[in-house]
Amino acid sequence: MKRIYQHFDRFEVYKVFHLLEDAGVPCFVKNELLQGAIGDVPPQNSEPEVWINDNSWFDKASQMIKEFETEQAQTLKRHSAQWVCSNCKEDNEQTFAVCWNCQQSS
């Protein structure tokens, strides 16, 4: 058994767990409820973790996680992108359909 992923956010841990589980990788979540013990247990020992049962899956699972994290980062970047108004050159949030400064459409 080997730990393959650790994160302070249980939601992120479960995204990775389900990614691996859906691909048939034998894995489990450890320290799922241990975050409530922070203070009694060192924080680095209480973060939720994904472990694989069979070490032969480690390289494939690591690659899957790397691709998943890259995809997550690209999605975040895409959603936080800004655009520059062609009329007044003002920066606008990606979600704006018109410039907040001059009301020109994107």
Strand ranges for the chain from DSSP E:
2-6, 27-30, 49-52, 82-84, 91-93
- Are 61 and 7 within 8 A, CB to CB? no
Distance of CA 60 to the CA centre of its chain: 18
State pLDDT tens for residues 3-57.
999 998 889 999 999 999 999 999 999 988 766 656 666 666 678 999 999 999 9
Q: Where are the domains of the chain?
A: 2-81
User: Which pLDDT does position 75 carry in this prediction?
Assistant: 79
Q: At what angle do helices 10-22 and 58-80 cross, to 10 degrees?
A: 130
Strands 27-30 and 49-52 turn out to be antiparallel
Token couple for 38: 């922070």
State pLDDT tens for residues 50-73.
999 999 999 999 999 999 999 988
